[in-house]
Amino acid sequence: MNRNSIIVFTFVLSICFVHSQTLKKEFPSEQQIDVIENLGEFLPLNIPFINENGDEVELSSFFNKDVPTVLTLNYFECPMLCTLVLNGLSESLRNLTLNAGEDFQIITININPNEQTLFVNQKKKNYIRGFGLENVKNDWHFLTGDQENIKKVADSIGYIYYYDKQRDEYMHPAAITLLSSEAKISRYLYGIEYPVKDLKLGILEASEGKIRSTIDKIILYCYHYDPYKNTYTIFATNVMRLGGIFTILFIGLMLITYWKNDRNLFDKDSLNVR
C-alpha cells in the first residue's frame, strides 16, 4: 500500500469513527422493551385512574362483575404500534361470539400520563364507531393516570416500556393481557393481530371454569395454548379422550335402543303365543 493509499484509508476511517460517535450521541442505545410473564400473579386494584368521562375510578370498581378482562396498555399519539394493536383487537372484537359485559370486558390504560381525557374520549369514540362496536361501548374502559400508577400496573403484568426523549415516543411491546374476574393474570397474547379463536379461548380460559355454554367448555377442553407458536392449538390427547367418550356413549345408546326393540318384539311374540 503506497503513501497516498494510507492517507486516504486513514481519512476514511477517521470519518467513519467520528460519524459513528455522532450517531451514538444522537441516538443512544435503546433500553429494553419486553414482557416478563407473571402468570398467576394479581393486578393491584387499589389504584386510582381517570376514565374517559373524566371521573376518578379505582381499578377495583371494574372487577366486581365476575367476568374476565382484556387489558391493553397503549397511548394514542403513538405513530404506529399502538394503533395496530388496538385495530387488531377491535377487528377481533367485532367478530367475537361472546357478549361484552356478560362474558368479558376490556380495559385500556394509557401509558402516556400527558394525554388529556377529552382526547382519550374521542379516541374511544373513533374505535367504537370505526369498527361498529356499539355492543362493547359500555364495557370498554379507557383510563388515564399519573406515571406512578401506570407503572404499578405495568410492573404487575411484566410490561416493560420506556420513554425515548430523542424521538418523543414511548417504546413498548405489542401484547394484550387476559385477567380473571379476580384480576389474576391468566394469559398473554402477542403481536398486532389477535385471531378470534385465540381471543375467545383466552377469555374462556381466564373465566376459570365460569363458562355458561357446554359447547364452549368442550372447545376449551380440546385446545391448549402453545407458547412457542403464540396461539391455541388442538390438544390431540384431549380430542382422542373426548372422541372415546362420545364413542362409548354412542355404542351404549345403540345397545339400549337395540335392547328396547328386542324386548318389545319378545313381548309381542309372547302375546301371539297366548
Cell numbers linked to 199: 381471543
Give the model confidence (pLDDT) of 8-43 as tens digits. 344 434 433 433 333 334 444 457 888 999 999 999
Percent of the chain residues past pLDDT 70, beyond the cut: 65
User: What is the distance between the alpha carbons of residues 110 and 114, in angstroms, rounded to a whole number?
Assistant: 9
Q: Which of 130, 120, 121, 54 is nearest to 89 (CA)?
A: 130
Q: How many of the other CB atoms lie within 10 Å of CB of 94? A: 13
Give the model confidence (pLDDT) of 99-148 as tens digits. 999 999 999 999 999 999 999 999 999 999 999 999 999 999 999 999 99
* The pLDDT value given to residue 208: 75
Tell whether the model's pLDDT for residue 217 goes beyond 60.
no
**127 touches 133 (CB < 8 A):** yes
User: What is the distance between the alpha carbons of residues 199 and 101, in angstroms, rounded to a whole number?
Assistant: 16
Give the model confidence (pLDDT) of 57-89 as tens digits. 999 999 988 899 999 999 999 988 999 999 999
* The pLDDT value given to residue 233: 66
- State the pTM of this model: 0.72
34-213 maps to which CATH number?
3.40.30.10
Q: Which residues of 24-45 are buried (b: 16+ CB within 10 A; e: fewer)?
A: eeeeeeeeeeebeebeeeebee
User: What is the distance between the alpha carbons of residues 93 and 215, in angstroms, rounded to a whole number?
Assistant: 20
Q: % helix / strand / coil in the chain, to the nearest 5?
A: 50, 20, 30
Q: Where are the alpha helices (DSSP H) in 47-116?
A: 81-94
